[in-house]
Amino acid sequence: MNCPSCDEPLITCEYENVEVDWCSACGGVWLDAGEFELLESIHGVTPLPAVPLHQASSRRCPVCGGSMQLTRRVLSGDSGSVTVDRCPSGHGEWYDAGELESLLRMPGTITGSAMDPLSRLFGRPGSSDPV
């Protein structure tokens, strides 16, 4: 499977029995359908609602090749959000470098020691390689 952002091959990594696909070139992360919720449930937090923006993304789904749609992941009652690319056929979501970590650091989501392995796996915003 290739990166929807830079077309480089994605590397499959495992975190807490959840397979995620990471791009070593641009630092983005592909999560198959339900994997975001799995990451959250592992740490006992409520999944963030996804709000469709009804706007086409310039990216294509790495599974089916179809155009993805922009979707906003937000916290209820909070102004923090991240816009991600989501396959309308339900294959998964694309997070540009730093977006997944930003979401998982929002209040009420994955925090503390759970972030350490995720940061090591996906790198930090601005870094090109995992730590």
Q: Is the pLDDT score of 60 beyond 60?
A: yes
The per-residue pLDDT for range 10-50, each reduced to its tens digit, is: 999 887 788 889 999 999 999 999 898 887 777 666 666 78
The per-residue pLDDT for range 68-111, each reduced to its tens digit, is: 999 998 754 555 678 999 999 999 999 999 888 777 665 555 54
Strand ranges in the chain using DSSP code E only, listed in sequence order:
11-15, 18-22, 29-32, 50-60, 67-74, 81-86, 92-95
b/e sequence 76-100, b meaning 16+ C-beta within 10 Å = eeeeeebbbbbbeeebbbbbbbbbb
DSSP state of 9: B
Between strands 29-32 and 11-15, the pairing is: unpaired
Instruction: Please give the model's pTM, rounded to 2 decimal places.
Output: 0.78
Helix%, strand%, coil% for the chain, nearest 5? 20, 35, 45
What residue spans define the domains of the chain? Answer: 11-122
